[in-house]
Structure formats: structure tokens, C-alpha cells
Structure 1
Amino acid sequence: MTTTTPGATAPLARTGARRRRRGGPLWQRVLLAVALPVVLIAAWWFTSAGSQSFFFPPLREIVTSFAPTWFEGRVFSDVLPSLGRLLTGYALALVVGIALGTAIGLSPTLRAYTEPVLEFFRAIPPPVLVPILMLFLGIGTTMRVFVIATGALWPILLNTVEGVRGIDEVLRDTSRVYRLGPAARLRTLVLRGASPQIVTGARQALSIAIILMVISEMFAARDGLGFSIVQFQRSFAIPEMWTGIILLGLIGVVLSLLFRAVERPVLAWYRGFRQSQRGGN
């Protein structure tokens, strides 16, 4: 009869617990991630195979026209300019949103004065501002970047305010006892403590920024993904129009993966803290 000591089984138990926390082995997580997209693509392929509709062509025809449409000049003339405006507006929203949100969250007086104004401007849909911004900023890149930044600002700003407000008062008192300077307190306590909600707002803002990128390029534009999709629709190039929609979805997936790659090290301390809490319970 074989006996197993508790010390020998402890590493196996810890490994199993870590796998359960991560959601299982890597191959299983990859399979779960790609299963639904594969099923949806297969369903689209077979249901549209015999389509005679002009506006809903077979997926085979759309896939065939994808490379000629985008990889023969449009990458540099339309895709890269769109991505440049998207990243510039998103970065601007991040900087302004985190800075203003931190200042408002730290000051109850400033929060009381600004909250009604913030709620008013948050309720205005950014696409409504496009005609107004065109009057003041023209129809160039500046207007489009401003539209993206304006719409992406609010999730970041409001989540930052709530994250800073929610920092434990005990931690604030501890930082005072240890006489941390303003810069060290801002870096190690305020921004770090509010980072889970800041990241949540940044994730929401990324989706909004992609939507506003397309919308801003549909107004008196000369390049960009939104401009190209509208031009395909107006010229009845329906397969090419569908390739633009698919390309937008692929860009969204890639940006989401990049966001997760940045989010993982930023919130590593938070995941470790949550795991230690679960382990303690």
C-alpha cells in the first residue's frame, strides 16, 4: 500500500489551484476563445454560400476581395491614417481623463463644483458635436482627433474620479504617518489604488474611440476606414464594403489583445491581492 505525505501533495494542490484560477490549461483556454468565432464564421460561410442577394453576397466572395481591396494601397492611404487618429485621440483622452479625474477625486470641493457640469457634458452624444466642431476646427485631422478624444474622455474621467474617491482612508492615513511626499503619494497610493477602475474606464473608452473614429470619417472626409466604407456603399461595391466592416472588427480584436497585454503587468499587484484574499478565506 502506497502512502503519500502531505508535503508531497502540497505542490500538486497549489498547481491545481493556480490552473483553476487561470481558467484551466492553455490549450483549453485557446480552444474556448476560438470556438465561438469558428462556429459563427462557418455558419456565415454555409448559409451565404448560395445567396443571390446583391446586398448580402457569399462570404467566399467577400474573403476573395479582401486582399485586393486593402493590401494594394489602401493600408497606407486609409488604414494607417485612421489608426493614427485613433491612437492620438485615445492617448489624449487618457492623459486628460486621468489628470482631471485624479484632481477631482482628491478634492471634495472641486468635485462638488464640477459634478453638474460633468454630468451635463457626459449626456451629450459625441457624434452630435461633429457638425459644431467642423465649424470651429474645419474638416481635417484636428477635428477627427478631437471628436475621438472628447468621446473617449468620459469613461476614463469618471472611473478615475470614483477610483480615487474609493481609496481606503486607512491607507491615506498610513501614507501621512510615513510622511510620503506628494509625488510618492500620488504614484504609490492614489494612482495605484485607483488603477483597477482607471483600467476599466480605459477599456470602455477604447471601444468608444473606435466607433467615433469611423463616425468622424464619414463627414466630409478624404481618407480613412469610415470614408472608404461609405464610398464602397455609395458606389454599390458591396463585397468591398463588407471587407471594411470585417477589417474594423479585426482591428478591434487586435487592439483588445494589446490592451490586455498592457493591463496584465499594470494590474498584477491587484490580481495578487485578490488571490491572497481568496486564499486567506
Structure 2
Amino acid sequence: MTARAKVPPRGSPGAGHAPGSVAVRHALLRWSVLASAVALWQLTARAHGSVYFPPPVDIARHAVDLWFSGPVGHVFLTEEAVGNILPSLGRMAAGFGIAAVAGIALGIAIGRSRRVYALCDPVLQFARAVPPPALVPVFVVILDFGTPMQIASIVLSAVWPVLINTAEGARDTDPLRIEVAAVLRLTPLERLRFLILPSALPRIFAGLRLSLSLSLILMVFSELLPGTADGIGFTLTDAQSRSDLLTVWAALVLLGALGHLLNTGLLAVEKRLVGRGRTTTT
């Protein structure tokens, strides 16, 4: 008596389409939407012929000439890119890194104690409600203009989403697992490593993605202030003062591309550590 082969249900990934082909189709669909938007932008800009709304082809050509036409030994980066893009990315990386480490550490410490969480929650909610750019003038007064002020403004704005989400994730740890850990006599470090952190990871990454966006915003905003000598924000204000609209548009497109690439990289790390089915969208 032969066994009957199981037929995958209609609409499932195995019903006529391999998972790889489905992923390729979704990727092609996403890129086709982007290509259609760029094509519409190109046609509209060519039809109007306005200097305030240049075509994307002209913007891309200007961006390549301005930032990515350098020697091979410098990874095709020009002196303009080395002098403005890299300093901005360095400030953003420093601010985001400090905010991530401090937010995760404080969030776990606060989230594991109900009393501490109840005492700190009003302060956390108040700090989260303050618009991040509003803190920049305070740091200008305290630290004056310069890189320390810019990094401090990024840290004190980006730390709250990580801290609050981490605290919530630590509080949501299954009490039954905590009781099992007590029965097994796990040390506090073992509980943190094998129980609390894995449980809080989805919320932690949700906070990290929000903080990454805030870090990019504060990086640019802090570089728009007087006294700044380099950075992408400085490039924007300098180009605006010279009515160099192609450079203004190129900087805006560059910021959008950087935000997308950084978010995609963080999402890839999240999928690897947390799992594809448990990632949290923000």
C-alpha cells in the first residue's frame, strides 16, 4: 500500500512557487515602484524645466561628481566627501553607539524592578515627549559649538526610545521562566544572558530603529547651526547660501539613501539575532 503524496495547500509558498522565487518577486515589485517614482519625477521635472526642481538624473550626476569621483585608493571618495560625509557619519555613529549601550543597560536595570520602573516611568515619558531638536540650544549653552555638543545632542535624544523599549521588554519576561531560572539556581548574569535579553530583543531592536532615525535627524540639525565647519548639514546650509540647488538636492537624496541603508543593515542584524518571524516594525 503506497503512501499518498501530500499536496501543499493553495496559496502556500510551496504551491507552485519556491520561497526564493517569491522573495525575488517581492524585491522586483519594490524596486519597480521606486523606479516608477523616479521616472515620474524625471518626466515631471523635464516638463516644467524649473531650476528649483531638477531632474533626478542631473542630481545623481552632480552627486557622483561631487562625492564619488575620487581615486580608487580612496574608495572613489572625493576630498569633499572625506571632509563632510565621513565626519557626519562619525558623529552619528558615536552618538548612536553611546545611546544604544546606555539605553540597553539602564533599560534592563529599570525594567527588572517594578518599584524602580514605577518611580522612573513619569520621568521617562516626559523626556520622550520633548522634541529632540529643542534640546540642541541647551547643549549649545552648556558645551558651546563643536563635536562634543553635536554628539551630546544625538545621545540625549536617541537614548530614550532604546531605554523605554528595553525596560518594557525586560518587564515582559515570562514570570514562569523566571521561576524556572530560580529553581535551576541560575546566576544573575546567566539570567540576563539566557532569559532577559532574548525575551527583550524584539523590543530592543524596535527602540534601536527609532533611535537610528533620531540620530540621523539630530546629526543634520546640529550641523545646521552657526559655527559648524563640516558635515552634511553644513553642506546643505553652504549650498543654500550660494543658491547651489543641485548640491542641496544631492545632499537630501544622500540623507535618504543613508537612512535606508542604515535601517536595512540594522533590520538584517535583527532578523539574524531575533528571527524573521519575531521582528518588530516601527
TM range (shorter): 0.7 to 0.9
The alignment covers a number of residue pairs equal to 267
Show the counterpart of 1:277: none
- Residues 23 and 100 of structure 1, relative CA distance in 2, 3 Å threshold: farther
Show the counterpart of 1:164: 170
Q: Which amino acid aligns with 1:186?
A: L
CA distance in 1, matches of 2:161, 2:241: 34
- Residues 147 and 156 of structure 1, relative CA distance in 2, 3 Å threshold: same
Show the counterpart of 1:242: 249
CA distance in 2, matches of 1:50, 1:178: 72
CA distance in 1, matches of 2:2, 2:111: 55
SS of 2:194's equivalent in the other structure is: helix
1:55 aligns with one of 48, 52, 55:
52
- Offset of residue 89 of structure 1: 0.6
- Residues 244 and 180 of structure 1, relative CA distance in 2, 3 Å threshold: same
Gaps of 5+ in 2: 69-77
2:200 aligns with one of 189, 194, 203:
194
CA distance in 2, matches of 1:84, 1:4: 65
Larger helix percent = 1
2:234 aligns with one of 227, 238, 251:
227
1:179 aligns with one of 182, 185, 201:
185
- Offset of residue 24 of structure 1: 5.8
1:73 aligns with one of 56, 69, 79:
79
1:186-237: per-residue Cα shift (whole Å, max 9, x none)? 1111111111111111111111111111101111211000110111111100
Contact in 2 for aligned 1:228/1:244 (Cα 8 Å):
yes
CA distance in 1, matches of 2:119, 2:220: 34
- Residues 69 and 272 of structure 1, relative CA distance in 2, 3 Å threshold: closer
Show the counterpart of 1:278: none
Contact in 1 for aligned 2:111/2:166 (Cα 8 Å):
yes
- Offset of residue 132 of structure 1: 1.4
Gaps of 5+ in 1: 274-281
Contact in 1 for aligned 2:159/2:211 (Cα 8 Å):
yes
Show the counterpart of 1:211: 217
CA distance in 2, matches of 1:78, 1:272: 38
Q: Where does 1:258-277 land on structure 2 (aligned, <5 Å)?
A: 258-268=265-275, 271=277
Q: Which amino acid aligns with 1:139?
A: F
Q: Where does 1:26-41 land on structure 2 (aligned, <5 Å)?
A: 26-41=23-38
SS of 2:14's equivalent in the other structure is: helix
Show the counterpart of 2:139: 133
The two structures, once aligned, show a CA RMSD in angstroms of 2.5
Please report the TM-score for the alignment, with normalisation by the length of structure 1: 0.87
Q: Which amino acid aligns with 1:95?
A: V
SS of 2:123's equivalent in the other structure is: helix
Show the counterpart of 1:90: 96
Show the counterpart of 1:102: 108
- Offset of residue 12 of structure 1: 10
Greater mean alpha carbon deviation, residues 148-157 or residues 67-76 = 67-76
Identity of aligned residues (%): 37
- Offset of residue 272 of structure 1: 8.0
1:108-132: per-residue Cα shift (whole Å, max 9, x none)? 1211221222222222112111111
CA distance in 2, matches of 1:128, 1:235: 28
SS of 2:46's equivalent in the other structure is: coil
Greater mean alpha carbon deviation, residues 118-127 or residues 203-212 = 118-127
Show the counterpart of 1:146: 152
